[in-house]
């Protein structure tokens, strides 16, 4: 862990050398998210609701996912598939292999992209906007559950990044497929999942358990009806899904490293 914090501090100091660039980049990151949220907020003024969910409830889903993805994007920057793949082609991964320290730890410490803070700030703002609109009547169990949902989402998205990074040992060209699950996943999870066609929803239920990370917990936290008729315990599967995807990803990552060492690039 000491090594991790040293590596991260290097990354932070490096980025602070380019302060203006950092500010512009952070603003840009923030504005993209702001633009998407304002668009849906504007359009909902016309339409009223999204399949029975009000603007505040949509903002809750949206804010949760944006914040957790932003936090993941910061902590797991080293695994960002596109960047990791390019760095590996340039020989950076070989440099890590030459050092007597855990590979995974070194990749965690190899990037810490501070401009992702822009997304976190924006996501948090939308989240609190949602709370102010919805005014949920939360009891202690709700409040205790919320951080677990958040952590599970971070681990879930982090797992997807790790899988993408591992895939880049085989191919860079097909990496955009990973974007379907990461960036597509956030886009999808920002809205109530019952709006999607059933085959798509089933994929994100049984193959990749995205539905349990935001939608079903929100049904519990916002006390919404469940048109999909999941069992009553379903909202509480979030930690299982989050940790499950994360550990499966780590296993695949180790397999990817073995492949890299037998094939090179």
Among 55, 72, 188, 238, binds another protein (CB under 8 A): 188
114 is a site residue for another protein (CB under 8 A): no
Among 89, 143, 144, 200, binds another protein (CB under 8 A): 200
Nearest residue (CB) to another protein, 68 versus 88: 88
Nearest residue (CB) to another protein, 52 versus 251: 52
98 is a site residue for another protein (CB under 8 A): yes
47 is a site residue for another protein (CB under 8 A): yes
- Secondary structure string (H, E, C) spanning the chain: CHHHHHHHHHHHHHHHCCHHHHHHHHHHHHHHHHHHHHHHHHHHHHHCCECCECHHHHHHHHHHHHHHHHHHHHHCHHHCHHHHHHHHHCCHHHHHHCCCCCHHHHHHCCCCCHHHHHHHHHHHHHHHHHHHHHCCCCCHHHHHHHHHHHHHHHHHHHHHHHHHHHHCCCCCCCHHHHHHHHHHHHHHHCCCHHHCCHHHHHHHHHHCCHHHCCHHHHHHHCCCCCCCCCCCCHHHHHHHHHHHHHHHHHHHHHHHHHHHHHHCC
Total residues at the site for another protein (CB under 8 A)? 64
264 is a site residue for another protein (CB under 8 A): yes
Nearest residue (CB) to another protein, 148 versus 196: 196
**Stretch in the footprint of another protein (CB under 8 A) among 23-31, 144-152, 217-225, 240-248:** 23-31
90 is a site residue for another protein (CB under 8 A): yes
Q: Which residues bind another protein (CB under 8 A)?
A: 2-3, 6-7, 10, 13-14, 17-18, 20-21, 24-25, 27-28, 31-32, 35-36, 38-40, 42-47, 49-51, 90-92, 94-95, 97-102, 171, 173-177, 179-180, 184, 187-188, 191-192, 195-197, 200, 258, 261-264
């Amino acid at each position: 862990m000491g090594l991790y914090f040293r590596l991260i501090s290097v990354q932070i100091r490096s980025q602070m050398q380019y302060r203006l660039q950092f500010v512009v980049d952070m603003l840009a990151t923030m504005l993209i998210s702001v633009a998407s949220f304002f668009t849906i907020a504007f359009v909902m003024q016309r339409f009223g609701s999204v399949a029975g969910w009000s603007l505040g409830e949509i903002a809750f889903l949206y804010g949760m996912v944006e914040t957790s993805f932003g936090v993941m994007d910061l902590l797991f920057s080293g695994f960002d598939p596109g960047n990791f793949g390019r760095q590996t082609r340039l020989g950076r991964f070989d440099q890590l292999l030459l050092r007597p320290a855990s590979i995974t730890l070194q990749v965690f410490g190899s990037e810490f992209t501070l401009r992702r803070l822009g997304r976190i700030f924006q996501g948090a703002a939308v989240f609190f906007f949602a709370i102010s609109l919805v005014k949920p009547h939360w009891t202690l169990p709700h409040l205790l559950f919320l951080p677990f949902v958040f952590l599970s989402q971070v681990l879930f998205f982090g797992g997807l990044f790790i899988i993408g990074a591992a895939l880049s040992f085989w191919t860079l060209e097909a990496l955009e497929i990973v974007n379907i699950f990461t960036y597509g996943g956030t886009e999808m999870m920002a809205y109530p999942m019952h709006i999607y066609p059933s085959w798509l929803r089933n994929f994100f239920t049984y193959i990749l358990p995205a539905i349990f990370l935001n939608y079903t917990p929100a049904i519990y936290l916002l006390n919404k009806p469940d048109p999909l008729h999941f069992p009553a315990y379903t909202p509480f599967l979030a930690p299982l899904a989050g940790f499950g995807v994360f550990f499966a990803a780590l296993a695949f990552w180790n397999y990817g490293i073995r492949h890299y060492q037998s094939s090179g690039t």
